[in-house]
């Protein structure tokens, strides 16, 4: 299987919870169908930050992976984010999702402790060498504090099963250097608000939380860049960033979920200690929905 099959636009899947914190299976299925049928995404990135993954037990993560695969089937590509502070949990989830038929796995860099690069490299080797699958490094320095340089990416890519990176950073110099140094490896843009800039640097796709609602506009930005229509793409990025600014100012998860609810999708609550939307936030979310999404 060639890695080109994994190129494209992926929603970082939002997860619906009930008020008591339990998984809302029907809500998750509705979010998945919305992404496939309405947002027309190429795939889903399941178990990432947007999925409130690091607030969940291993069994809950497994159940969400099962639901996503059962609902999406083979309609789109599925990438499972299995990374964990506990490498043995990551290996368990890598095996679980590979057996389910996920097209690739991904893993966030280990964080909190100040791991050396050799320790980080061993973490990735332990995960990917445990399964017959492909792995995408999840680099998100502003949350993990872990920075990987061009040469270190090269060290990771020596393992032919480590096929690319979800690049969630604003360092476009580094992005350009990685793109030039490793043209055969996949690079996914991880910041929705920087789609235009990343597309100009010829990334292979993007993975974003706002694609759950703004996927059509995001795809248009990519298409316009490919057509050389930079002015039109810039205007769409302006609109996208106005939307993102308003969402962030009102509360990311609660606003996205409220906007989905306004479209008839049971996106539910957030997992504690995250707060779900207050009445004031719901009202503001309705204004955001009507301005950008209706």
Please state, in angstroms and rounded to a whole number, the distance separating the CA atoms of residues 182 and 162.
12
Instruction: From the candidates 61, 69, 77, 166, give the one annotated as an active-site residue.
Output: 166
Please state, in angstroms and rounded to a whole number, the distance separating the CA atoms of residues 83 and 172.
25
Q: Does the annotation flag 75 for ligand binding?
A: no
Instruction: From the candidates 10, 45, 123, 138, give the one annotated as an active-site residue.
Output: 138
Query: Residue 171 CA to chain centroid, in angstroms?
Result: 18
Q: Does the annotation flag 190 for ligand binding?
A: yes
Assess whether 95 carries a catalytic annotation.
no
> What per-residue string of b and e applies to 151-186 under the rule 16 or more CB within 10 Å gives b?
eebebbbeeebbbbbbbbbeeeebbeebbeebeebb
Q: Does the annotation flag 261 for ligand binding?
A: no
Please state, in angstroms and rounded to a whole number, the distance separating the CA atoms of residues 6 and 22.
31
Q: Does the annotation flag 209 for ligand binding?
A: yes
Q: Does the annotation flag 97 for ligand binding?
A: no
Q: Does the annotation flag 49 for ligand binding?
A: yes
Q: Does the annotation flag 163 for ligand binding?
A: no
Assess whether 166 carries a catalytic annotation.
yes
Instruction: Report the 10 Å Cβ neighbour count for 268.
Output: 24
Q: Shortest CA distance to 7 belongs to which of 264, 246, 202?
A: 202
Residues known to be catalytic: 138, 166
Binding residues for pyruvate: 50, 207
Q: Enumerate the known binding-site residues.
A: 49-50, 168, 190, 192-193, 207, 209
Annotated binding site for aceneuramate: 49-50, 168, 190, 192-193, 209
């Amino acid at each position: 299987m060639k890695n080109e099959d994994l190129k494209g636009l992926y929603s970082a899947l939002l997860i619906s919870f009930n008020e008591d914190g339990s998984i809302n299976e029907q809500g998750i299925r509705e979010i998945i169908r919305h992404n496939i049928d309405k947002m027309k995404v190429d795939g889903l990135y399941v178990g990432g930050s947007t999925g409130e993954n690091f607030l969940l037990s291993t069994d809950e993560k497994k159940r969400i992976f099962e639901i996503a695969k059962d609902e999406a089937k083979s309609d789109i590509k599925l990438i499972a984010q299995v990374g964990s502070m506990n490498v043995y949990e990551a290996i368990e989830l890598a095996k679980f999702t590979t057996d389910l038929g996920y097209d690739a796995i991904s893993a966030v860099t280990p964080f909190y402790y100040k791991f050396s690069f050799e320790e980080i490299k061993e973490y990735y080797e332990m995960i990917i060498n445990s399964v017959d699958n492909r792995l995408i490094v999840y680099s998100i320095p502003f949350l993990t504090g872990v920075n990987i340089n061009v040469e270190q990416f090269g060290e990771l890519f020596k393992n032919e099963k480590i096929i690319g990176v979800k690049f969630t950073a604003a360092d476009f110099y580094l992005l350009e250097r990685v793109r030039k140094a490793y043209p055969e490896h996949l690079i996914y843009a991880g910041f929705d608000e920087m789609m235009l800039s990343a597309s100009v640097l010829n990334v292979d796709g993007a993975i974003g939380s706002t694609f759950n609602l703004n996927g059509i506009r995001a795809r248009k930005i990519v298409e316009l860049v490919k057509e050389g229509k930079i002015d039109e793409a810039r205007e769409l990025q302006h609109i996208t960033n106005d939307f993102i600014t308003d969402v962030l100012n009102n509360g990311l998860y609660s606003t996205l979920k409220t906007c989905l609810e306004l479209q008839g999708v049971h996106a539910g609550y957030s997992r504690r200690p995250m707060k779900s939307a207050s009445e004031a936030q719901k009202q503001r979310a309705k204004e955001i929905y009507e301005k950008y999404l209706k």
